[in-house]
């Protein structure tokens, strides 16, 4: 399999779906001539033209609203919000319109739209351009939420998201764009709602999302050298959530560390912890569930403070060792 960048995997998925289905089009700020703020859509406007790669006004509300409206009338838009922080401007269109239209029309109307958005810290972009707000959207019935951590997952999950008849929030971490991974040249998709074990283990389960999957794998390698065999589980999609895979992993290891970049308080880790606590995996736990997340503050600009705000591999290692020492 060829090794390509995460951003290239996203671009390949867009291109393949645009070739497969003429209803698919791309829209957003600077996605056309400029090629996207992070270079994801470079070359698409030259291949597909301005009708199918549309530069929009600087209005997130317009982008989300136009995507929802065009989806209802039969198109399959892939809209980009340049930073996830700016989805705050589009919440009415996403939460009160796109998420509810299919339900309110008794299934007769569908909203097959994807909203792609870069999230996460680590680039020195400070408090208004670094947030991970995925948990906001997991709270809304009618929205699906996808957070791929590898180029392989990004391509396969984006293709499935574009083909889905419901609105999908597709979250891409900025620090993943330059990561590489093996991606098949042939056609493939990954179904939404299926988790992936990135590393098998027997002593502790580390459930991680997005860029934290890479930190979890780094931590697992270090833990292995000290005799702790960690399993790394990536949900890949938060809605729908593969609860069965989570429960089975925790039942096997008896210990669990949950890590995400968003603020720990009310983050998606709380939902994962509740899922485990309400399942029969609870009876298999040998120690309390550990949650790691971002600090309870706006994200700092200073690089040292920013690094301290984000969970690091060392934090995951420490949490896993503490769980191991309790038993």
Residue 107 gets the label, from left (phi > 0), alpha (psi -120 to 50) or beta, of left
Residue 178: predicted pLDDT: 98
Are the C-beta atoms of 76 and 112 separated by less than 8 Å?
yes
Mean pLDDT to the nearest integer, 272-294: 97
Per-residue pLDDT tens digits for 296-316: 999 999 999 999 999 999 999
**3 state DSSP class of 139:** coil
User: What does pTM read for this prediction?
Assistant: 0.97
Check the CA dihedral 199-205-206-208 and report its sign: positive
| pLDDT > 90 in the chain, percent | 98
Ordered domains of the chain (ranges, CATH) = 3-182 (3.40.50.970), 196-325 (3.40.50.920)
The full DSSP string for 180-202 is EEE--SS-----TT--EEEE--S
Average pLDDT, the chain: 97
Helix axes of 151-163 and 6-20: crossing angle, nearest 10 degrees:
30
CA 239 to CA 253: how far, in whole Å? Answer: 24
Mean pLDDT to the nearest integer, 232-261: 98
Q: Which residues are catalytic?
A: 129
Per-residue pLDDT tens digits for 19-63: 999 999 999 999 999 999 999 999 999 999 999 999 999 999 999
Using 50, 70 and 90 to split pLDDT, how confident is the model at 1?
Answer: confident
Per-residue pLDDT tens digits for 156-212: 999 999 999 999 999 999 999 999 999 999 999 999 999 999 999 999 999 999 999
| Nearest by Cα to 143 from 114, 168, 112 | 168
CA 124 to CA 65: how far, in whole Å? Answer: 30
Per-residue pLDDT tens digits for 105-150: 999 999 999 999 999 999 999 999 999 999 999 999 999 999 999 9
Using 50, 70 and 90 to split pLDDT, how confident is the model at 326?
Answer: confident
Mean pLDDT to the nearest integer, 243-268: 98
Number of Cβ within 10 Å of residue 206's Cβ equals 33
What phi and psi, each to the nearest 5 degrees, are found at residue 256? Answer: -145, 135
The full DSSP string for 195-238 is -EEEE--SSEEEEE-TTHHHHHHHHHHHHHHTT--EEEEE-SEE
């Amino acid at each position: 399999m060829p090794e390509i960048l995460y951003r290239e995997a996203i671009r390949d998925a867009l291109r393949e779906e645009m070739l497969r289905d003429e209803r698919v089009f791309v829209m957003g700020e600077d996605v056309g001539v400029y090629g996207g703020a992070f270079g994801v859509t470079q070359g698409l406007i030259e291949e597909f033209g301005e009708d199918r790669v549309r530069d929009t006004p600087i209005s997130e509300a317009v982008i989300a609203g136009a995507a929802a409206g065009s989806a209802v009338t039969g198109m399959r838009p892939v809209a980009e919000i340049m930073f996830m922080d700016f989805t705050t401007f589009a919440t009415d269109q996403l939460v009160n319109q796109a998420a509810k239209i299919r339900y309110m029309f008794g299934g007769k109307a569908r909203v097959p739209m994807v909203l792609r958005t870069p999230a996460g810290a680590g680039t020195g972009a400070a408090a208004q351009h670094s947030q991970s707000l995925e948990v906001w959207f997991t709270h809304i019935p009618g929205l699906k939420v996808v957070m791929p951590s590898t180029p392989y997952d990004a391509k396969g999950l984006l293709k499935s998201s574009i083909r889905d008849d419901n609105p999908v929030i597709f979250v891409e971490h900025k620090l993943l764009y330059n990561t590489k991974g093996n991606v098949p040249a042939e056609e493939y998709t990954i179904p939404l709602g299926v988790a992936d074990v990135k590393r098998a283990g027997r002593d502790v389960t580390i459930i991680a999302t997005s860029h934290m999957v890479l930190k979890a794998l780094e931590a697992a390698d270090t833990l292995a050298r000290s005799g702790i065999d960690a399993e790394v589980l990536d949900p890949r999609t938060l809605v729908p959530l593969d609860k069965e895979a989570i429960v089975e992993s925790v039942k096997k290891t008896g210990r669990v560390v949950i890590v995400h970049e968003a603020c720990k308080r009310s983050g998606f880790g709380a939902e994962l912890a509740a899922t485990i606590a309400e399942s029969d995996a609870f009876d298999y736990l040998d120690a309390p569930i550990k949650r790691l997340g971002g600090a309870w503050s706006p994200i700092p600009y200073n690089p040292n403070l920013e690094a301290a705000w984000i969970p690091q591999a060392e934090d995951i290692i420490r949490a896993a060792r503490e769980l191991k020492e309790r038993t």
